[in-house]
Amino acid sequence: MKPFFITIANNLTLIITPDSDAHADGHPVLTYTYGIYRRDTSTLGELNQSDKLLQVNRKDNPDYLGCITFEQPGKVFSYVADGEDELSPDEVLEVIEEISRFRNTPQMWLI
């Protein structure tokens, strides 16, 4: 899955990076963890260099806002704010809603 963009309250545009493993059979993989970044020119440039957005380097990116894990989709979620900044509780809820919409609409996965 490719990173996708969402906009939440206060016109905060975010880049959501699904953490998933590639599978040789070509079937879509539904991931459970999503990295969250502010949409910034430097982060946009790194989208073409996916190794720079991997777990190891996330904390070094000033636009990294943490990650959301879908423990039980539709029921249990966790947000880890392990970057330099973090989302507010209301922003986390909005991000969960947008990611859920993305997860429930496979047609969007190919964008």
> Residue range 69-93: average pLDDT?
88
Confidence of residue 94 (pLDDT cuts 50, 70, 90): very high
Task: Measure CA of the first residue to CA of the last residue in the chain; give whole Å.
Answer: 9
Kindly report, residue by residue over 14-56, the tens digit of the pLDDT.
989 887 655 556 555 566 889 999 877 555 555 555 555 554 4
**Short-list 70, 79, 76, 78, CA closest to 104:** 70
Looking at every residue in the chain, the average pLDDT score rounds to 77
- Please tell me the least confidently modeled range out of 15-29, 58-72, 75-89: 15-29
Which single residue is written with the structure tokens 């704010």? 81
Contact (Cβ atoms closer than 8 angstroms) between residue 83 and residue 65: yes
Q: Containing H/E element for 16?
A: strand 12-19
Q: Where are the domains of the chain?
A: 4-110
**Short-list 81, 104, 103, 101, CA closest to 92:** 81
Assign residue 62 a region: left if phi > 0, alpha if psi is -120 to 50, beta otherwise? alpha
Global confidence as pTM: 0.74
